[in-house]
Amino acid sequence: MKKNLLILLAIFVFIGISAQQPGNFKNFTVSVYARAYEVRDMGDLKKLEATWNEITQQLKVDKIYLETHRDKIIVDEKTLETAKKFFLSHGVKVAGGITYTMDERNHFETFCYSNPEHRKKAQEIAELTARHFDEFILDDFFFTSCKCDLCIRAKGNLSWTQYRLNLMTSAGRDLIVNPAKAVNPKVKVVIKYPNWYEHFQGLGFNLEVEPTYFDGIYTGTETRDPMRSTQHLQQYESYLIFRYFENIAPGRNGGGWVDPGGASTMDRYAEQLWLTLFAKAPEITLFDYRQLQTLLKPSHRASWQGTQTSFDYDEMMKPIQTAGGQTVQPTTIARAAGYTFEKVDAFLDKLGNPKGIKSYRPYHATGEDFIQNYFGMMGIPMDIVPEFPSEPKMIILTESAKFDPQIVQKIKDRLAAGKNVMITSGLLHALQGKGIEDIVELKFTDRKALVSDFSAGRGSSCTSKTPILIPQIEYLTNDSWEDITSTNGASGWPILHQTRYSKAYLYILTIPDNFSDLYNYPAEVLNRIRTIVTQDLSVRVEGPSQVSLFCYDNGTFIVESFQPEPVTVKVVINGSLSTLTDLVTSQEIKGIPGTSPQIWGRESMATSGFEITLKPHSYNVFQIK
């Protein structure tokens, strides 16, 4: 009996130790996802050992996701167990993964959840996975794009959005989570969402309900190339989408997920990884086991390399000393990830909780798609929230806010409580005739103007490099006022417009027809917009666009340039006595005293200015003293 007790105690101690095994990095867990295509070959241990060695000599890995299904490939259970044993014996945590695709190569052909046979198969896959793992994650594809005759009949008079929302919300519960828990009551089931959040509802992803019954959610933070990829996602989204999902399920957003697809240089790949971590993701998953074996090639070295940028290709390529005393030459993109993680892990623990200007996106809303990410690229720290924010002094509402039927009343209540609101011209357009005129009588006309001359406060004039096409907004003289004006010939139109209502100000920001032209607003225009909108923050940036600011609640912040050339910006901090410490180099910088520009309804205040030159695609990390 005593002997048995001792053995039991020894087992407990062992479990305790292995559960507390420290990760490879101080601030996050690094995971690798392996697709069914690769997992099905993992019965060949010799091959597995070789590929695993190649990856882990270059990149420290804490956890692996082993996929059981993709494209009708189901990994046999013996191979799953062999692979599991292999990774556990290498001290790596193991979880499962499922991709619910029929054929990924056919426009990501999904299952049809109106089809009883597909439903049965989906459930069997969840059950099989739960038998082998205490945790599994659904990759991007737990949605449906099916418009077969079964779906058309079942949809009836509902919209596709409503039909698919209903269908997938119940499929998640009835075919995945409940059956998995029936097989393994301990199992943690996580749904990973892709990067196209603005369009989820149309294909059945339900951000309102699914996070309440899945054990966790996970965030696709890959943004690839804003110009060349068909999605045209802005780089800033790699940060903002993680924050948004964290606001939907606080503490249950497990991590961010990046693949190297569409990243023509290793800088673009590294940027997505560090932006995910700037958002304070506790785990980062690298997709996938196969892609991490992609050979590094000369074209991965960006043209601005050799100037000590944040991602320093030549430093990354230096031989690595392994724990076993070996010298290893980097060969694959696993090293790009490993190198990036080692650099950011050195300062992430000094950052507080991320802070940004709140922008409200009601559940299942669309309108001015993804525009908050453009604001982030304009140097405005952003934070998307699923509930209407009542607290901060300023919020930004975009066209998607029209999905809240109470939106006009909520704006009025905020203004009456002395709190400002900025709305976009798209939201003004959507609310025209729906009550917004009760606050201010403006007219969003059908006319356009092509403008390149601007005046940003107190008659200071400036010019954009290219003409910008904007909607013409009309207002009643002396009822509301232009804060930033654009002109062409003898006519002019507001870029930023303001009116007083009750105890606060409503601002209207004109959005160019091409959102990308937001980046072409001259620095003076951008500075004025930033000054007005960032009143809840003690830091702002002055200078051109495509320089982002990331703020934290403990006086730390990051300035990052997405430009291919060096760029000089001015960081302005409230208070006249500030000093900045660079958290990477420990260098101290003294500020130049100044005063904040005149804004209606706001006291002018003392500021400190810091001129900073950022290298291409690089960040600086600072602490205010």
Residues that bind Zn ion (CB under 5 A): 112, 114, 146, 148, 150-151
Minimum Å gap between C-beta 114 and Zn ion is 5
User: Which strand (E) or helix (H) includes residue 499?
Assistant: strand 491-501
C-beta of 151 vs 423, nearer to Zn ion:
151
C-beta of 150 vs 385, nearer to Zn ion:
150
Cα(236)–Cα(547) distance, rounded to whole angstroms? 10
Cα(620)–Cα(614) distance, rounded to whole angstroms? 7
Minimum Å gap between C-beta 195 and Zn ion is 25
Dihedral sign computed on CA atoms, order 105, 107, 112, 113: positive
Measure Cα distances from 77 to 74, 83, 288 in Å.
9, 10, 21
Minimum Å gap between C-beta 208 and Zn ion is 23
C-beta of 148 vs 417, nearer to Zn ion:
148
C-beta of 78 vs 107, nearer to Zn ion:
107
Minimum Å gap between C-beta 159 and Zn ion is 16
Give Dmax over CA atoms of the chain in angstroms. 97
Measure Cα distances from 41 to 38, 44, 73, 232 in Å.
6, 6, 12, 35
Cα(13)–Cα(18) distance, rounded to whole angstroms? 9
Strand partners, 448: 471
Minimum Å gap between C-beta 164 and Zn ion is 10
C-beta of 141 vs 505, nearer to Zn ion:
141
Question: Are 161 and 202 contacting, i.e. CB atoms less than 8 angstroms apart?
Answer: yes
C-beta of 88 vs 148, nearer to Zn ion:
148
Minimum Å gap between C-beta 283 and Zn ion is 34
Q: Please tell me whether the peptide bond between 446 and the residue prior to it is cis, using omega within 30 degrees of 0.
A: no
Question: Are 556 and 544 contacting, i.e. CB atoms less than 8 angstroms apart?
Answer: no
Strand partners, 550: 558
C-beta of 71 vs 582, nearer to Zn ion:
71
C-beta of 151 vs 541, nearer to Zn ion:
151
Rg (CA), the chain: 26
Closest CA to 567 of 519, 525, 528: 519
C-beta of 90 vs 147, nearer to Zn ion:
147
DSSP H helices in 209-351: 210-213, 237-248, 266-278, 313-316, 334-345
Minimum Å gap between C-beta 151 and Zn ion is 3
Minimum Å gap between C-beta 68 and Zn ion is 23
User: Which strand (E) or helix (H) includes residue 178?
Assistant: helix 178-183
Closest CA to 277 of 233, 229, 193, 342: 342
Residue 596 CB coordination number (10 Å)? 16
| Cβ-based neighbours of 487, under 8 Å, separated by 6 or more | 451, 453, 454, 455, 493
C-beta of 169 vs 538, nearer to Zn ion:
169
Closest CA to 382 of 604, 151, 537, 165: 537
Closest CA to 573 of 529, 539, 611: 539
C-beta of 148 vs 469, nearer to Zn ion:
148
Closest CA to 244 of 270, 260, 221, 269: 221
C-beta of 157 vs 478, nearer to Zn ion:
157
Minimum Å gap between C-beta 73 and Zn ion is 21
Minimum Å gap between C-beta 197 and Zn ion is 24
Strand partners, 541: 571
Q: For residue 377, with 0-12 CB atoms within 10 Å meaning exposed, 13-18 middle and 19 or more buried, which class applies?
A: buried
Cα(302)–Cα(375) distance, rounded to whole angstroms? 26
Minimum Å gap between C-beta 347 and Zn ion is 49
C-beta of 149 vs 603, nearer to Zn ion:
149
Minimum Å gap between C-beta 154 and Zn ion is 8
Minimum Å gap between C-beta 275 and Zn ion is 37
C-beta of 112 vs 401, nearer to Zn ion:
112
- In the sheet with 579-582, reading across from the earlier edge strand, the strands are 354-355, 547-552, 556-561, 619-624, 579-582, 588-590
C-beta of 8 vs 148, nearer to Zn ion:
148
Minimum Å gap between C-beta 113 and Zn ion is 7
Q: Kindly report each contact of residues 482-485 with a partner whose C-beta sits within 8 Å and lies 24 or more positions away, as own/partner.
A: 483/457, 483/507, 483/528, 483/532, 484/454, 484/455, 484/456, 484/457, 484/525, 484/528, 484/529, 485/454, 485/455
Closest CA to 579 of 590, 563, 592: 590
Minimum Å gap between C-beta 102 and Zn ion is 11
